[in-house]
Amino acid sequence: MVVCCAQTRSSSLSSLGSGSAMDIRQSESRIKQAKRWLSSKWTDWDSFFAPYIHTLLLQLAKSGELVLVIDGSQTAQGCCTLMLSVIWKKYAIPVVWLTKEAPKGHFADELHTDLVSQFHQFFHSQQPCRIVLLGDGEFDGSLLRNFCQRQNWEYVLRTSVDRQIDFNGEVGRIDALLPLLQSQESIFIEHACLGSHAVLWKGKNFQDPIAILTNMELGPMACQYYRRRFKIETMFKQFKSAGFQLQKSRLGQPVRVQNLIIVVAIAFIFTFCIGLLLKEQNHKAIAPFLRVDSINKMSPITIAQKAIAHHSDIAYYIFSMLSKNFENFFST
């Protein structure tokens, strides 16, 4: 299913059940197998995805830091998925997720905490390192922030500019400080909200100032970390319109959608790795399927998909090598 997902650039059942031209007669049987796998009580994140992400996280943790990003997105038919990803080399990689039946909307603070707690239980004792959690305005709830404090995680979470905070004993809205941004890029307010510091920041390329809650001791550092939050938006786009068309899947049951994301996530990771390695190849090797002058502007996923669509031997060779040496790829 992973290979079919990567080859067809689709996560529909018909795509997951398709094979090469010689396997057309078996496609119906393959589709039935895919349906059974997606519906099976034995199919879960722990069995089919955890071994891959565990290996990856162990390698990334050797750097001394893991930067996690939490966000939600619409997936399949009438479902939303809340996902935690890890940042590596300016890209977001899926780690753990949960899906609920809802066409759109926010997840409750309790579900945010449940998701990061699942990650903590899975990885906390493996290799100690600094952990930083990034999130958009949906994730500024007290439960999630308190969880991070208890685990000694750092966090940088966007909040609304009309949030009430403490200004040295006086309570007011964060945006009351907007006039002060005329002369500086950011304003840092200590212990502004139930133990969290607040930052009002007018970053470059931002149309309007944004407000942040953090437990970092330096405002500019929190702002620099927050910039990396947007990498998960790119990942979701590659899961969907720019990659595997997850939004077009007709699955509507949350458990099945969660299982489908296992397939898409593994296909994403392997395709992403293939694309990074193809970028390092000499121009002669990639010229048959790619304009060499455009490679620096293209995402690794797009490069790999072009190579796979061209039935490039080098793409399949890299896929084979990654399958055997997955751990070593993330050691640098």
pLDDT value for 82: 95
Is residue 127 a part of any domain in this protein?
yes
pLDDT value for 22: 45
Half-sphere exposure of 235 (CA within 13 A, CB side): 31
Is residue 159 a part of any domain in this protein?
yes
pLDDT band with cut points at 50, 70 and 90 for residue 148: very high
- Provide, rounded to the nearest whole percent, the portion of the chain with pLDDT above 70: 96
pLDDT in tens, 76-87: 888 999 999 999
pLDDT at 144 over 90: yes
Is residue 149 a part of any domain in this protein?
yes
Is residue 82 a part of any domain in this protein?
yes
Q: Of 87, 175, 189, 73, which is closest to residue 131 (Cα–Cα)?
A: 87
Supply the CATH number for residue 224's domain. Answer: 3.90.350.10
CA distances from 158 to 21, 136, 154, 195, 328 (A): 49, 5, 14, 15, 35
Is residue 299 a part of any domain in this protein?
no
pLDDT band with cut points at 50, 70 and 90 for residue 24: low
Is residue 19 a part of any domain in this protein?
no
CB 263 within 8 A of CB 124: no
What tokens were used for 6? Answer: 């990567």
Q: For the chain, what is the mean pLDDT?
A: 88
pLDDT in tens, 113-126: 999 999 999 987 66
Of 332 and 100, which is predicted with more confidence? Answer: 100
pLDDT band with cut points at 50, 70 and 90 for residue 178: confident
Query: Lowest-pLDDT range, 27-31, 103-107, 187-191?
Result: 103-107
pLDDT value for 149: 95
How much is the average pLDDT of 296-307? 86
Is residue 65 a part of any domain in this protein?
yes
Question: Is-above-0.85 flag for pTM?
Answer: yes
How much is the average pLDDT of 138-158? 95
pLDDT in tens, 252-274: 899 999 999 999 999 999 899 88
Is residue 189 a part of any domain in this protein?
yes
Q: Range of 138's domain?
A: 46-233
Entry field: residues in the chain: 332
pLDDT at 138 over 60: yes
pLDDT value for 95: 97
Q: Which residues, 6 or more positions from 280, have their beta carbon under 8 angstroms from its beta carbon?
A: none
How much is the average pLDDT of 305-311? 84
pLDDT at 229 over 80: yes
CB 298 within 8 A of CB 331: no
CB 139 within 8 A of CB 70: yes
pLDDT value for 20: 52
**CA separation for the pair 207, 210 (Å, rounded):** 9
How much is the average pLDDT of 294-310? 85
Number of domains into which the chain is organized: 1
10 Å CB burial of residue 5 (0-12, 13-18, 19+) is: buried
